[in-house]
Amino acid sequence: MAEILRYEHVDISYNGSLTVKDVSFTLEEGEILGVVGESGSGKSTLIKAAMGLLGPSGMVTRGDIWYKGKNLPDLPDRELRKLNGPELGMIFQHAGSSFCPIRTVGAQLYEAASEHERLSQKKFRQQALELLGKLGFENGKRILDSYPFELSGGMQQRVGIAAAMILNPSVLLADEPTSALDVSVQKQVVEEMLLVRKTFGTSIILVAHSIGVIGAMADKVLVLKDGEMVEYGETQQVLNAPENAYTRKLMSAVLRLRRS
């Protein structure tokens, strides 16, 4: 498999304070990498760095993030903005809250797509319906004509994933896309992301609190503790035989929750 994204000895700081330390990994085409760690361990920071979304106080202070021969932290904002969407897609925890409440889903998706590509409303609608069909939505027309508040939270999240796929990015960066959802809806979102990978060959970095979600989806896992990578490897291996005490702690926390 060809590599699509590579972090090499990446340090990230906010206001000079080192938050992510010496992280290296490779994401291959069509691969799903799960990132886990306690709250504040730097998971969101890690993926925001690729998209230049660290904000004014954040900076990659060492190392490289290679994407198709370009070192992303070296690119001017203008260049990065061109990549965000068509090359690197992002899904947030509450996709619903990124929709505007007073305009239809279809109108908002059209606006997002036409920022990157000139296409008529009619052509867009055709493409969007085709995509929603491929991703298993039975009533794409109704979804495009709905206002966000007419969709359930889980449906909004699934539509958020479809929205990111309209521009057909090579890499999808998903920041806790399932954390706010109940278990049955989490399952639907996981299935949709797996379908995205299967249908489009998209590589995915999935940040998740739930080891269960990671176990169900990810080919590889990266465990972050206080900004440091304490474990990285094939999912089954890491989950069946975690080498690090912190990984074992994360896993036992899940087991305890299940038992209670």
Ligand X SMILES: Nc1ncnc2c1ncn2[C@@H]1O[C@H](COP(=O)(O)OP(=O)(O)OP(=O)(O)O)[C@@H](O)[C@H]1O
User: CB 225 → ligand X: shortest distance, Å?
Assistant: 10
235 binds, among Mg ion, ligand X, none (CB under 5 to 8 A by kind): none
Is 57 a residue that touches ligand X (CB under 6 A)? yes
Is 235 a residue that touches Mg ion (CB under 5 A)? no
Is 19 a residue that touches ligand X (CB under 6 A)? yes
Pick one of 1, 9, 40, 120: the residue that binds ligand X (CB under 6 A). 40
Other residues' Cβ atoms within 10 Å of the Cβ of residue 182? 10
User: CB 15 → ligand X: shortest distance, Å?
Assistant: 6
The secondary structure of the chain in percent helix, strand, coil, rounded to multiples of 5, reads 45, 25, 30
**Which of these ranges, 17-25, 38-46, 78-86, 181-189, lies near Mg ion under the rule CB under 5 A?**
38-46
Is 44 a residue that touches Mg ion (CB under 5 A)? yes
User: CB 166 → ligand X: shortest distance, Å?
Assistant: 26
**Cα 164 from Cα 49, distance rounded (Å):** 18
**Which of these ranges, 39-47, 64-72, 113-121, 166-174, lies near ligand X under the rule CB under 6 A?**
39-47
Is 14 a residue that touches ligand X (CB under 6 A)? yes
CB-based contacts of 134: which residues, under 8 Å, 6+ apart? Answer: 195, 199
In angstroms, the Cα distances linking 112 to 192, 246, 256 are 21, 40, 42
User: CB 62 → Mg ion: shortest distance, Å?
Assistant: 22
Is 253 a residue that touches ligand X (CB under 6 A)? no
Is there a contact between 10 and 65 (Cβ–Cβ < 8 Å)? yes
Is 178 a residue that touches ligand X (CB under 6 A)? no
Phi, psi for residue 57 in degrees, rounded to 5: -90, -10
**Cα 75 from Cα 70, distance rounded (Å):** 8
**Cα 164 from Cα 58, distance rounded (Å):** 24
Q: Provide the 8-state DSSP code for 179.
A: T
Is 37 a residue that touches ligand X (CB under 6 A)? yes
Chain residues binding Mg ion by CB under 5 A are 44
Sites of contact with ligand X (CB under 6 A): 14, 19, 37, 39-45, 55, 57-58
